[in-house]
Structure 1
Amino acid sequence: MKLKPIWIYLENGIFLEAKSFGSDGTRVGEIVFNTSMSGYEEIMSDPSYAGQFVVFTMPEIGIVGINKDDMESDRVHASGMIVRNFNEYYSNFRAEDSIDHLLIDNNAIGICDIDTRYLTTNIRDHGSKMMIASTEISNKEELKEILHSFPRIEEVNFIKEVSTKEPYIHKSGSWDGTQFKYHDAPKGAKKKVVVLDYGVKRNILNELCMAGLEVEVVPHDSDIEVLIQRYRKGEINALFLSNGPGDPMFYKEEVAKIKTLIEAKVPMFAICLGHQLLSIAHGYPTYKLLFGQHGGNHPVRYERNRVVEITAQNHNYNVPASICEIAEVTHKNLFDNTIEGVAYKNEPIFSVQHHPEASPGPHDSKYIFKEFAQKI
């Protein structure tokens, strides 16, 4: 295939030319970098990356192709991917197609033949920035004008875009690495958890099933009073607040609903965005990190036993240290000492910032799903 030229402009004035694959056109998003050595398909299909361009620090991307079983949702949610070397030809016995075709089918842009080390260090030193990429417009000033006219990522309700529109029951279990196929979740699950979908990853649902839970997924705008009544009647046993994209401080309606759930003393477990929304609902606003945590090699210490786990991360926002006034800090990030997990005092609620479902990423933290099942 013949790669086309593409022009990139960042809000701090950086203007670059590179090559493109995937879809043509013009896209706007926030640029972040991810340090995972594998899992580009899972990352691109993770709803938490909606509205973002992902710079991959792994230089070779595309070699293993893509397949439907590795998708974390039904489509690509990221605005685009930025890689050093794009491999059109893939070689993997599980591969069904190329990452190029996946991006084309999902209207997402691929950028290659660019210095990803330069972009990564720039983000590290100066923070995540809004950017625009175009195969149609080469004029810097025109790109700058379009970028400044677009809403920032902090001003967009991405949850509405990525959440399910209808409730559904999730039944499949986690990946069986020996047979390379999904196997059924444990039969006879007696406890039921309802997932409030802010952009949930498929493998989170798989792990909830594997922990022995019956899993029902509902839209983000579901009637909270109905869920509380179902809990009081014993029809459901707990709620799970999922991961998702965007600035948690933007989601006023979701926070108000979570406050109602807290007051009703409904047991809850949350990951990533859900973890942040719980903090805000308790009166502790989140703050934005300089460049966030995105990767599969982040050391997190479980404070209860002082064991260090290598974890998968994907977030730009964090809960404040002052939350220790009302919650036990259960996990800490050893890169920057930020809070990675809390258990709220005198409440049946706990949450983590990192991704224990490990897709992609290490498996050190999968025990958290079993802890949730045991608690309910």
Structure 2
Amino acid sequence: MQSPLKDACIYLANGMFFKAKSFGTETTSVGELVFNTSLTGYQEITTDPSYAGQFVCFTMPEIGIVGTNPKDMESRGVFAKGILCRHYNENFSNFRATESLSTFLKKQGAMGICGIDTRFLTTTLRQEGAMMMVASTEITNKEDLKAILEKSPKIEEINHIKEVSTKAPYKHSTGNFDFTIMDYASPNTHQKIIAIDFGIKRSILNQLVSAGFNVEVVPHNFDAQDLIQRFKAGEFNGIFLSNGPGDPQVLTQEIASIKALIEAKIPLFAICLGHQLLSLAQGYPTYKLKFGHHGGNHPVKNLLTNQVEITAQNHNYSIPESIVEIAEITHRNLFDNTIEGVRYKNALICSFQHHPEAGPGPLESSALFKEFSKLLDSAK
């Protein structure tokens, strides 16, 4: 039987105050509140480094039913501040589970909050936009929580990449994706690539390996000139720019380094944050969406084939329409018509906003890894 849960209090930047229950780490924490519409995969979502500095409000009301297990980790730990759900289930039932979500969150130092009207929270975020919040199991006074939130930096002011990125280069050789699931032939390539880790998910690395790529992962603060010299020496064929958290405009050094890679004419492929950084590196500023895209049900139209794919999304920023000056728009989000994919006109560069690895989510965009292989083949 589940033991009684500790009280928790929440204060939002718009002045709303809520009382709830805690099933995670008992602490006081500040972060940006966003909502996620995925029906499954709460562990993959919670361990996605792109959620660093954020609280994730699940629109799925029942959370915890399948427990947690080591194989569903998307990174080395939980970088999100915590999660919010309507009902938490301590008694899990799944043959893969090794421990409850509550135990998992406590080990990871992340908050878990339940007993709150997540439908109301989601409606509020849709109407007013993503916003900062503070949650506490220690402080119950509204004014005290307000004071903490007002003194805390906003997510746009924090560089979370330093926290989530690898500290040293390494080779990734594990692949667990079968391209025949979606009737996509594996690229069957053996080309070598460098993956820049801005908060990369393990599912992405696994799919790159499954596609046949030899993958070396390097930190966010990579030496651009060193990579350029290695490329000229034939040590690798192209570079992948990964997903990651936060406002891309904060990453001034990374933007400068990517600009150098572009000028060196190295073939580039990017998703999510990497997609945004490519735009910034070429002088096209990103902008923040009202409440972002977070979930596994976003329809995206491939403008080259007229096919519609259901995609996984996790981002708060988008690239501008003016990018058409230097790139062809290849994909659009059918929810709000924002840009989801581009192919640059005078360079071997393509990038996408949605997540082709879909961990969790649909697998319909997995063919993008084959496009990366074609891009590198065209450089020969």
Counterpart CA distance in 1 for 2:4 and 2:111 is: 15
Q: Residues 34-68 of structure 1, C-alpha deviation per residue, up to 9 Å, x if partnerless?
A: 00000000000000000000000000000001111
Task: Find the counterpart in structure 2 of residue 59 from structure 1.
Answer: 61
Say whether the 8 Å CA contact 2:13–2:131 is kept in structure 1: yes
1:20 and 2:14 aligned: no
Task: Find the counterpart in structure 1 of residue 183 from structure 2.
Answer: none
Q: Name the % identity.
A: 62
Task: Find the counterpart in structure 1 of residue 196 from structure 2.
Answer: 196
Task: Find the counterpart in structure 1 of residue 352 from structure 2.
Answer: 352
Task: Find the counterpart in structure 2 of residue 89 from structure 1.
Answer: 91
Counterpart CA distance in 2 for 1:215 and 1:40 is: 27
Counterpart CA distance in 2 for 1:190 and 1:98 is: 40
Task: Find the counterpart in structure 1 of residue 206 from structure 2.
Answer: 206
Task: Find the counterpart in structure 1 of residue 311 from structure 2.
Answer: 311
Say whether the 8 Å CA contact 2:177–2:210 is kept in structure 1: no
Say whether the 8 Å CA contact 1:48–1:246 is kept in structure 2: yes
Q: Residues 324-373 of structure 1, C-alpha deviation per residue, up to 9 Å, x if partnerless?
A: 11100010000000000000111010100000001000000000001101
Counterpart CA distance in 2 for 1:105 and 1:3 is: 17
| 1:374 Cα offset (Å) | 2.3
Q: Residues 98-142 of structure 1, C-alpha deviation per residue, up to 9 Å, x if partnerless?
A: 111111011100000110000000000000000000000011111
Task: Find the counterpart in structure 1 of residue 120 from structure 2.
Answer: 118
Q: 2:149 aligns with which of 147, 150, 157?
A: 147
Q: Residues 205-234 of structure 1, C-alpha deviation per residue, up to 9 Å, x if partnerless?
A: 011111110000001111111101111111
Say whether the 8 Å CA contact 2:68–2:97 is kept in structure 1: yes
Which deviates the most, 352-361 or 168-177?
Answer: 168-177
Task: Find the counterpart in structure 1 of residue 226 from structure 2.
Answer: 226
Q: Check 1:189–1:46 CA distance in 2 against 1; reply closer, same or farther (3 A cut).
A: same
Instruction: Give the 3-state SS of the residue equivalent to 1:300 in structure 2.
Output: strand
Instruction: Give the 3-state SS of the residue equivalent to 1:164 in structure 2.
Output: coil
Say whether the 8 Å CA contact 2:189–2:211 is kept in structure 1: no
Counterpart CA distance in 2 for 1:322 and 1:275 is: 15
1:48 and 2:50 aligned: yes
| 1:176 Cα offset (Å) | 6.3
Instruction: Give the 3-state SS of the residue equivalent to 1:173 in structure 2.
Output: coil
Counterpart CA distance in 2 for 1:169 and 1:351 is: 23
Say whether the 8 Å CA contact 2:177–2:207 is kept in structure 1: no
Q: Check 1:210–1:166 CA distance in 2 against 1; reply closer, same or farther (3 A cut).
A: same
Counterpart CA distance in 2 for 1:177 and 1:134 is: 44
The list of structure 1 runs, each at least 4 consecutive aligned residues, that deviate by more than 4 angstroms after superposition, is 175-178
Counterpart CA distance in 2 for 1:280 and 1:24 is: 39
Letter in 1 for 2:103: H
Q: Residues 268-321 of structure 1, C-alpha deviation per residue, up to 9 Å, x if partnerless?
A: 000000000000111100000000000000000000011000000000000001
Q: Residues 61-104 of structure 1, C-alpha deviation per residue, up to 9 Å, x if partnerless?
A: 00001111111001011100000000001000011111111110
Counterpart CA distance in 2 for 1:177 and 1:257 is: 33
TM-score by length of structure 2 reads 0.95
Task: Find the counterpart in structure 1 of residue 375 from structure 2.
Answer: 375
Q: Which stretches in structure 2 are left out of the alignment for 5+ residues?
A: 181-185
Letter in 2 for 1:82: L
Q: Check 1:101–1:175 CA distance in 2 against 1; reply closer, same or farther (3 A cut).
A: farther
Say whether the 8 Å CA contact 1:212–1:373 is kept in structure 2: no
Instruction: Give the 3-state SS of the residue equivalent to 2:314 in structure 1.
Output: strand
Letter in 2 for 1:50: A
Instruction: Give the 3-state SS of the residue equivalent to 2:346 in structure 1.
Output: coil
| 1:174 Cα offset (Å) | 2.2
Counterpart CA distance in 2 for 1:233 and 1:352 is: 28
Aligned pairs for 1:286-297 within 5 A: 286-297=286-297
Q: Which one has the bigger strand percentage?
A: 1
Counterpart CA distance in 2 for 1:40 and 1:146 is: 28
Task: Find the counterpart in structure 2 of residue 167 from structure 1.
Answer: 169
Task: Find the counterpart in structure 1 of residue 111 from structure 2.
Answer: 109
Task: Find the counterpart in structure 1 of residue 272 from structure 2.
Answer: 272
Say whether the 8 Å CA contact 2:178–2:210 is kept in structure 1: no
C-alpha RMSD of the superposition: 1.5
Counterpart CA distance in 1 for 2:258 and 2:177 is: 31
Task: Find the counterpart in structure 2 of residue 183 from structure 1.
Answer: none
Q: Which stretches in structure 1 are left out of the alignment for 5+ residues?
A: 179-185
Counterpart CA distance in 2 for 1:113 and 1:151 is: 28
TM-score by length of structure 1 reads 0.96
Instruction: Give the 3-state SS of the residue equivalent to 2:23 in structure 1.
Output: strand
Instruction: Give the 3-state SS of the residue equivalent to 2:322 in structure 1.
Output: helix
Task: Find the counterpart in structure 2 of residue 30 from structure 1.
Answer: 32
Task: Find the counterpart in structure 2 of residue 181 from structure 1.
Answer: none
Number of residue equivalences = 369
Counterpart CA distance in 2 for 1:190 and 1:335 is: 37
| 1:189 Cα offset (Å) | 5.7
Q: 1:137 aligns with which of 122, 139, 147?
A: 139
